[in-house]
Structure 1
Amino acid sequence: MNRTLLALALMGVTSGAAYAQSSVTLYGELDAGLLYTNKTLAPTTGGNAGSNFSLIDGGRAPSFFGFTGTEDLGGGLKAKFKIESGINVANGGLNNSNGNQFGRQAWLALDGNFGEFKAGLQFSPFFLAVDESDPRAFSLFGSGALPYVNSAIGTGIFNSNAVSYTTPRFAGLQGRAMLALGGSPGDFQAGRQYSFAVNYEHGGLTANAAFYDGNAGGTANTPVPTNLGFEGRMLGVSYAYGPVIAKASFVNYKVAGSANNNVYGGGLTYYVSPAFDVNGGVWVTSDRDHTTNHSVLAALGAEYFLSKTTSLYAQVGLVDNHGAMDTGLSITGALNEVPGTTTGADIGIRHTF
C-alpha cells in the first residue's frame, strides 16, 4: 500500500511538472466600424447604386478568436499549435477567413534551434511578406489588402493541406518555404500551391522578397475561393527612423483567365506618441494585359489607444478606377467600386484579448 501511495504521489508530481511546461491561451480581436462611401457598385448592372452608410465588421482589422498552445519538450524543442476562426461582430457569422469554422489557421508545429516545421491550414510566406511591407498594416480599409483580395480573393492567404519550414535568422536573413498538397482523383497537381520568401533585417532596414504559385482546382473545402490559378511576386522595403516608418513595395498578381495586375505601393507611419499614430499610403494598380484598366487608391488613417488592448480609429480614402478596374475602399462593404472616383470614410473601435 505504501508503495502504491508513493507511486501515485510521484505520478502527481510528474504530471504537475509536465502541465507547468505547457500552456494554452485564448486570444482574439474584435473590430466594429461605421462605413460611408459616396458610391456603391450595383452587382446586377455594374453601375452606381448610390451612397452607402452601414455598420461593418472589420473596419480596421479582421475580427477573430483562437486558441494557441506551446509545450516545452526539452533541449530547446517546443511543440506548438494554433486554431483560429474569423468572426463577424455585426451578425455573429463567419468572416475574414475561408468560410470554414476554424478557417483562418489550424496547424501543428515543431520549433527549435533548427527553425520551425508547421503542418496544416496556414498563411503563405508570400502573403506574410506583402502584409509586412504594407504602410497601413494591411488595414481592411484603404491599404494593399484591397488590390490583393480584389485580384486573388483568398488564394495565398488561407492555404489548406500545407507544410512549411521557417529557418532561424542568420546574419539578418530568414527564409520561409511552403508546399500545400492539393490533388483530386486522377490529377495530383490540381490545387497544388507553393510559396517561398526571404526577409532581411539590419538596424532600421527591412527587405522582403517572395513568390507564390498555385494551381486551380483540388479538393480543399473552402466556401470562399482559396485555390485560384494564381502566381504572385513581390519586393518590399521599409525603413524605421525614430517614430517614422517608411514602406514601399511592388507586387504582381497574375490570375489565370482574369487579370495580370502590377501594384506599386508606398506610404508612412508616424507614431506621434506610443498611444497615437497616423499613417497614409498610395497604391497604383495597372493590368499589364490591358493597360486601360488601372486604378489609384489613397488612404489616411489615425488610431488612438485608450489602453494596451482597446483603440479608436478613423480612416478616409478615395479610389479612382478606369476601364474595367473595380478596386474598392473596404474589404467589408466596399470590396469593389464603380468606374470613376469614389470617396469614403470609416470610424470604429478595436479590442484585442
Structure 2
Amino acid sequence: MSTPMTTRRTSLRRLVGLVLASSLLSLSVAATTHAEVIERVVAVVNDEAIFLSDLRQKAAPFLRRAMQAPTEAQRMQAVQQIYTQLLDRMIDERLILQAADEEDVTVSTSEVSTAIDNVRTQSGLEEREFWEAVRAQGFTPQQYRRDVRQQLLRLKVLNQRVRGRVNITEDDVRARYDEMAVRARREATFEAEYIRLPLPADASATDIHQAMRDAEDIRAGIESEDDFASAMDEHGGGSTGRISERDLAPELSEVLLTLEEGEVSAPVRSEASNAVFILHLVNRDLASDALPAYDDVRMDVYREMMQEAMTRQEELFLEELRRRAIIERRLEQ
C-alpha cells in the first residue's frame, strides 16, 4: 500500500519531469560511457562548442537504465542512441540560448527560485525532501537550477518570437469541442426510429431522385414526434432498438451522430440498405465519462489547443534557427 510520503514523492517525480523531462520524452533508455574519459568537442553551433563532458553530464541520470541492457552490444547501442538524441536536443537548446542573447532575453535568479518554489509547493514536499528527490533523479541542485533557467529562457523566447503566430478563436475551440462530442457519441448507445422508402433492385438515377423527393415531401410534413409516428405507420419503418454506432451502415450512423434527442433528420440514402431513410433519434446513452458541457471545459480545450499550436510553432521556429545556423556534429569522430 502506498504511503502519503510515497504518493508525494511520486507526485514530485512527475512535477520535476514537467520542467526537465519535456526535452527528453523520447528517451526511454539511458547512457553509459567508455572507461576512458576524453574531453573533446562533440558539436559546434555558430562557433560555440558543446563538449563531451557536457553531453555525459546530461546523460548521467540515465546510466542505471542503460546498464540494465542484457548484452554489451545492446548497452552500446543504447549509449549511442541516447547520446545522439541528447546532442540534438543540446544543439536546439544552444540555438534557443543564442536567440535569447540576440533578443536580450534574460532570466533572473529570483525567477529561477520562484519557479522551483512553485514546483516544490505543488509537490507538497518540504525543501529538504524536495532536493533529496531531485538528487534521487540523478541531478545535482546546480544542474537542476541550470536546467530550470534554460527552460524559462526557452519559454520567454518562444512567447516573444512565436506567441504572436498563434491565434485560437472561439470558433476554433467550439469546433474542437464538437469533434470531441462526436467521438463521445461514437461510444454511446442509442435508440432511433426510421421511415424507410425502398429503392428498386437496379435503381436508376431517376428512381433515386424520385425517392429522395418523396422523402423530402414526407419530412416537410413532420413537425412533432406524433407526426413522425403517423408517417412511419403510413410509409413503413420501425425502431432500431438499443444499438451502437457500429451496428448501422456508416451513412446512417453519421447522420445519427449529429442529431440531438428528439430531432428528425433530412432524408438520407443508404446504399447498403438500398433505401432512403428519415431518422428520428429517440434517446442516446453516453458512456459514464460523457463529455462535460462546453462551458465547463472550454478553457481546458483552449489550453490544450494552445499547447499544440505552440509546440508546432516551436518546431517551425527551431527549423528557422537551424537553417540560419552553422552546425557541425562531431559525435562520431
TM-score normalised by structure 2 residue count: 0.19
| Structure with greater helix percent | 2
| Structure with greater strand percent | 1
Higher RCO (CA < 8 A, seq sep 6+): 2
TM-score normalised by structure 1 residue count: 0.19
Bigger-Rg structure (1/2) = 2
